[in-house]
Amino acid sequence: MMPGPQSSLDAAGSAARVTGHLLWLFVIPLAIIFVIVVAIAVVAIFRKHRESGRPAVETERGLTRMVTGASVLTCVILLGLIAVSVSTGKAISDRAMPRNALTIEVTGNQWWWSVRYLNDDASLIVTTANEIHVPVGRPILIRGVSADVIHSFWVPGLIGKRDLIPSRVTTEWFTAEREGNYRGQCAEFCGLQHAHMAMWVVAESPARFQAWMNAQLGDSANPVTPAEQQGQKVFLEHACALCHTIRGTTANGQVAPDLTHLASRLTIAAGTLPNNRGNLAGWITDPQSIKPGNHMATVPLAAEDLHPLLDYLGSLR
């Protein structure tokens, strides 16, 4: 039961870190209270009663004093907890967000994440899916929207939840404080494949982030080898292109993840499988057995078409 890549206990983001501190501020006093209450109850079972003790009235008075004292103490402890909680809440609220934040729009879809790096200059907007790269040290503003049902954006190592709600826009912000890969997962039940709606957040140095950004801005790589060229043809002539976009080609579907730089990503199928040739082949051939009920159609492909297609998709760095 050690913390994994999706644990809130191993915080690397500003919001998750202060929340982690708050967790212990709560857990320690509450655990002490728990132990005291249980101890009193257990002792009460085995306690020996003196037959000729103090008069009953006096005992009752003593009990009243104890109960009153405990109640007052409860109030004091709770007031203290409210104070630290509200001040932590302020520190991670939108109002406390520093300027110069990088705004990333995350759109929840059944069952994947569409990601856009917003920019006033439309030519600098980057679109990707199921993987978010962020520079360490720079505040990130997540602008959450939904294309269908309610989802919830959550990357425990970096930041708590924010629901993505159709017809609304929600926001939250964090700063990644340590490089690394952090897994996130949809936290609001969103239907059949809620369990397989994950994503990775890659926190990296500003320089590497900029390099990634520049690569993502470009159109897709042109197919070089004959196999890749054949694969692109397969992609464009089959149903794939109806749903997916590959910038630089005629594939312009809007309802499924943008595949322009598919090969640069860590996973496929919204964090379901590591991105490698074998998994991609399995996913394309039979997406419904890997993620039953998902919206990717099973496109019948001839055996001789599959390998060129995999070659082509593998070249989309």
Number of Cβ within 10 Å of residue 176's Cβ equals: 28
Min dist. Cβ of residue 102 to another protein (A): 19
Which one of residues 116, 143, 183, 265 is an interface residue with another protein (CB under 8 A)?
183
Neighbours of 27 (CB within 10 A): 10
Strands 139-146 and 151-155, bridge-based pairing:
unpaired
Interacting residues with another protein between 110 and 129 (CB under 8 A): 110
Give the footprint of another protein on residues 127-166 (CB under 8 A): 148-150, 152, 154, 156, 160-163, 165-166
Q: How far is residue 133's CA from residue 122's CA, in Å, rounded to a whole number?
A: 19
23 sits near another protein (criterion: CB under 8 A): yes
Please, is 48 exposed, middle or buried when counting C-beta atoms within 10 Å of its C-beta (0-12, 13-18, 19+)? exposed
Site for another protein in 218-277 (CB under 8 A): none
Question: Would you say 71 or 252 has its CB closer to another protein?
Answer: 71
Q: For residues 65-84, which are near another protein according to CB under 8 A?
A: 66-67, 70-71, 74-75, 78, 81-82
Judged by CB under 8 A, the residue of 190, 203, 240, 310 near another protein is 190
170 lies in the site for another protein, by CB under 8 A: yes
Least distance in angstroms from the C-beta of 152 to another protein = 6
129 vs 9: CA distance, rounded Å: 26
Q: How far is the CB of 41 from another protein (least distance, A)?
A: 5
DSSP assignment letter at 223? P
For residues 108 and 148, is the Cβ–Cβ distance under 8 A? yes
Q: Is residue 28 near another protein by the rule CB under 8 A? A: no
Q: Please give the Cα distance from 208 to 186 (Å, whole number).
A: 27
